[in-house]
A and B are shown apart, each in its own frame.
Chain A
């Protein structure tokens, strides 16, 4: 019973920290949108450019998983493996490199370490 209480406490703590971070990131996002609106009115930025900025900000906001590491680490080992495998299921099942690695523990490790990245057309990724 004590174990159950400790487990429940740790899970609820991790979830509450994630929700707090989510709120903070939403507030930061709305602040950025306000600033963009100011820029639009003050410097007459073209609608196309402002649309691109909005798209970039939205993408960053969606893909930022600040509390993911803490949350996954707070789970029991078998659950943390399943969670990371579920998050990147599509990549792990269909990507040729991942399909060839076939080690569940390794895939779970990679799942915790992989970070999303976005590159716009024309930019140099490596040079």
Chain B
């Protein structure tokens, strides 16, 4: 897990032409005051892997051997999200064994920590779903994917296209 202190990283979707759906900034940047940006990442994959594990347990009638096989560390540490650095980043990293110690020795705080991670994963998943839903829709470079397609957006699109035409004329 990485706690970003300066610089900018982003969650990208390689299957969708590397579209960005989440931004992680350091504490020193102006963007860090924006509530839509995140300040740490790396634990979301574990949350997703555990959700998939719960779903698998519900869908299959496994015996202890199958369950042991499915709960191996290699199966629970698959990366689900891709994170790319877009501005050189300084961060503080926390390893899995240290997180395991935290879970064992500081149970209350670890519960709070995991709750925060689950909330962040929900935000990321919804952002990713919005990005996937709007991926094929018409858009231009000046409007982002998270805007709803209403008349105001269409007007903005038209205005932006006119502005671009004027700019190209010059």
Chain A: minimal CB distance from B120 (Å):
9
Of the listed stretches B64-72, B94-102, B136-144, B148-156, chain A binds B94-102
How big is the B interface, by class?
Answer: 35 or more
CB contact under 8 A between A121 and B42, given known A100-B112, A101-B112: no
Contact at A91–B5, with CB atoms within 8 Å? yes
Contact at B82–A126, with CB atoms within 8 Å? yes
The residue from B45, B90, B102 contacting A116, defined by CB atoms under 8 A apart: B90
Q: Which residues of A contact B102 (CB under 8 A)?
A: 106, 109-110
> What is the 8 Å Cβ interface bit string for chain B, positions 1-34, against chain A (1 contact, 0 not)?
0110101010000100000000000010000000
Contact at A122–B89, with CB atoms within 8 Å? no
Max count, chain B CB within 10 A of own CB: residue among A90, A98, A101: A101
Contact at A118–B88, with CB atoms within 8 Å? yes
Chain A: minimal CB distance from B124 (Å):
13
Closest to B89 in A: A119
Within 8 A of B (CB), among A15-29: none
* Number of A residues with CB within 8 Å of any CB on chain B: 31
Contact at B85–A122, with CB atoms within 8 Å? yes
| Bound CA–CA A127/B94 (angstroms) | 18
Chain B: minimal CB distance from A72 (Å):
14
Q: How many A-B residue pairs have CB under 8 A?
A: 104
Asked if B61 CB lies within 8 Å of chain A CBs, one says: no
Chain B: minimal CB distance from A58 (Å):
13
Within 8 A of B (CB), among A104-127: 105-106, 109-110, 113-127
Q: Which residues of B contact A127 (CB under 8 A)?
A: 14, 79, 82-84
Q: Which residues of A contact B42 (CB under 8 A)?
A: 126
CB contact under 8 A between A117 and B84, given known A94-B27, A106-B106, A106-B109: no
Q: Which residues of A contact B158 (CB under 8 A)?
A: none
Asked if B133 CB lies within 8 Å of chain A CBs, one says: no
Contact at A125–B83, with CB atoms within 8 Å? yes
Chain A: minimal CB distance from B27 (Å):
5
Asked if B129 CB lies within 8 Å of chain A CBs, one says: no
> What is the 8 Å Cβ interface bit string for chain A, positions 75-117, against chain B (1 contact, 0 not)?
0000000000000101100111110111101100110011111
List the interface of chain B (C-beta within 8 A of A).
2-3, 5, 7, 9, 14, 27, 39-42, 45, 79, 81-95, 98, 101-102, 105-106, 108-109, 112-113, 116
5 new A-B contacts at CB < 8 Å, known A109-B101, A120-B88: A114-B92, A114-B93, A116-B93, A117-B90, A125-B41
